[in-house]
Structure 1
């Protein structure tokens, strides 16, 4: 491979790795945005580790660091950096693939846990003192107000002690309070499904871009290996 081909490949690698770094940084920013604007995490604690925002932030942060290593390795034509980038990115891609399999295999179980966690949160809310468990109370009130719903399956879940966030009118008359009749379970499940869809689309896009980066790094690394270069 002559030097002009090497320079062309180097330019392509640097730009692709930088694009991968930008996409990873965007994924982190999107995950942080979801964390700041999503107030429902305290209500569904069973699968908190695979909460969409957490998944995006963790995966994106690791990918950002790995892609930055690839950018440096390509710019400096450093063989050690390139092989480290290749190994770390390959491992990351395996983890992303495993996460996708977990989402597919445990999809039905997640819905079961979802209902159980919401019922537990509702009971904690219902039995708490006015000053107790403020996070759960604020999150449940936010869900009921945002999705125009009441309880998990309906107002009957509150057993007569219905919070004002269930009120269907604004301003609400607490003496004769009309409540939303629909439960929050299906609406919140739909919201989570949409978030998992956007999370999955982001992970798949990253996976494809990472795969392209791996494929184009191989000939660049092999060139240095054959000529004993790339250790500076």
Structure 2
């Protein structure tokens, strides 16, 4: 076996520190001692390519976390505000329902408008109290449990009621004269029934209206004929010869009462519509948040 001898010296492989991971140099080559001492000669500068992105990511993460916490806090405040508001509305509905039951037991008020015997004031208050109580309980439970189905139902029912109220208000304004004629005709029919065979069943309601509005009959005292009730008298009621009766009819008194309280009635209706719109906005905001986050009960 022959051994081949080689002459010459193998030159060491040159490495450039420019390949350092995460470092960028403005020159093509820097000595290794410069890295050990931290001094780079000339205009060469060492720039870190990893610190700045990390700082940006951390700042963005902290900002996003603070924003998420703020959003959660606002939504919790909205949730519990909706719960409290619906609870107050529920108690108001129960009170209205109780007042309607009291009127049904003591004063049915069916003798005044015979054609609307089933839609008298007592029944309307009872129905309104039931609707308010059920709707408030629906909104309270939907907000508390974060149930999308209940919140959506609450929104749709409120929207439907708002449309009904606006439609009724427009119809009352458009057909004001026709409604006034219909009320006058119905009051005359009710007065005829009060003068009929069983006056005691109907006269108590007329006595209540005549004493409350300080009136007598539909137009005046002559509507009662010879059978004038004691509620029409306001002076010397003991002596039948010296009695003095109220001269103003109940129709004019009721019309004047509505005209005097028209502004208060309009303000009340506007406040009610604003409350309904706010309830719709709260319900839809919670519904959208629950849908995006995937929280709460599913549909």
Fold agreement, TM-score > 0.5: yes
| Contact 1:42-1:139 within 8 A present in 2 as well | yes
2:180 match: 111
Match 2:143 to one of 66, 74, 82:
74
Look up the SS of the partner of 1:185 in the other structure.
helix
Pairwise CA distance, 1:7: 3.9
Pairwise CA distance, 1:137: 1.0
| Contact 2:235-2:244 within 8 A present in 1 as well | yes
1:42 match: 111
Q: Larger deviation: 105-114 or 169-178? A: 169-178
Runs of 5+ consecutive residues of structure 1 not aligned to the other structure: none
1:90 match: 159
Pairwise CA distance, 1:110: 2.2
Q: Distance in 2 between matches of 1:193 and 1:144?
A: 18
Residues 25-40 of structure 1: pairs in structure 2 closer than 5 A: 25-26=91-92, 29-30=95-96, 32-33=98-99, 36=103, 40=109
Q: Across the two proteins, how many residue pairs are aligned to each other?
A: 229
1:189 match: 255
Q: Larger deviation: 178-187 or 160-169? A: 160-169
Q: Distance in 2 between matches of 1:217 and 1:185?
A: 44
Runs of 5+ consecutive residues of structure 2 not aligned to the other structure: 1-66
Q: Does 1:14 align with 2:89?
A: no
| Contact 1:167-1:177 within 8 A present in 2 as well | yes
The structure with the largest helix share of the pair is 1
| Contact 1:56-1:199 within 8 A present in 2 as well | no
| Contact 2:141-2:150 within 8 A present in 1 as well | yes
Q: Larger deviation: 204-213 or 8-17? A: 8-17
Change (3 A) 1:39 1:224: closer
1:31-74 deviation line (CA, Å, top 9, x unaligned): 75476387745302445676566545433432332222222222
Change (3 A) 1:123 1:197: farther
Residues 173-184 of structure 1: pairs in structure 2 closer than 5 A: 173-184=239-250
Max radius of gyration: which structure?
2
Q: Distance in 1 between matches of 2:235 and 2:249?
A: 17
Instruction: Report 1 or 2 for greater relative contact order, CA contacts < 8 Å, sequence distance ≥ 6.
Output: 1
Q: Distance in 1 between matches of 2:268 and 2:117?
A: 19
2:212 match: 146
2:276 match: 210
TM-score by length of 1: 0.78
TM-score by length of 2: 0.63
Q: Does 1:123 align with 2:192?
A: yes
Q: Distance in 2 between matches of 1:50 and 1:198?
A: 24
CA RMSD of aligned residues (A): 3.2
1:161 match: 227
